[in-house]
Amino acid sequence: MFMQFEHRFFYFSRMPANQPIGIFDSGIGGLTVANAINKCMPNEALVYFGDTAHLPYGDKSPEAIKYYSLKITKFLMDEGCKAIVIACNTASSLAYHDLKLFMGNQIPIYSVIDPVVEYMTATDQYKQIGVIATRATIKSNVYAEKIHLQKPGISVKSLATPLLVPMIEEGFFNDQISSTLIHTYLSDPQLQGIDSLILGCTHYPLIRNEISAFYNPSIDIIDNTEIVAKHIYKELKRMDLLNQDKPLPHQFYVSDFTDSFEKSTQLFFGQQIRLNLRQIWD
């Protein structure tokens, strides 16, 4: 299904530094990454696409996720983005290598997984790492494989926590419902004995305090949003792609619109933003 795009991904030349950074996710959860990038690089304009029509990705097939990711990437490139961030662990785990293949070296693309793996393996501090994420991310085993490739001696204990995303999307956190569900997941024997926990979904930073309270504070909670933002800053600086001009306005798109999505943006981005409906599916 990817061949129809093959020749379209190679006519893009190196983008000027004042062009925006493209960010996409299966919904609006990736706004946590966008928010971190905005704070780390306030001069950068952002073009965000949330595929709310196909939320959640965690229950979709790998081929469907790759297809959605490729279509969104094409949209962001057509918008003139100088770099693209896959602000979704599920899409990062399943579509990242396909996107790199079809984009070549024309513009950089970043997953939210590799910077975290680099962070976790750059020290000898972590020996028993836990990972919580969607079913698709856990099934891909991407964190364990990448961490073991860097440091084979590290133990990685992974647990699918599929109910956390809809819980957060519906606004149930910092209450009895979220406390009960988080306690149930984190009490799972699979996560016993860990010294750190990777929040392997961009929704999960919104419940970081509740997760930290559960462990109180016996383990390190790894929020990938700040790690990813700092990594992208270093990369864009290295490539001389940091914007020095007045930034363009941010743009936020979704593939399906409801009032509840727009109202929820404040939870993820720190302020309510206007979402624009954009249909990109043939």
- Token pair listed for 106: 């024309």
19 and 251 Cβ atoms separated by less than 8 Å: no
User: Is 40 designated active site?
Assistant: no
- Token pair listed for 35: 């928010």
120 burial level (CB within 10 Å; 0-12, 13-18, 19+)? buried
User: Is 88 designated active site?
Assistant: yes
From 34, 88, 117, 273, active-site residue: 88
d(CA 143, CA 125): 17
From 21, 84, 197, 201, active-site residue: 201
- Token pair listed for 121: 């393996």
56 cis-preceded (ω within 30 degrees of 0): yes
The set of catalytic residues is: 88, 201
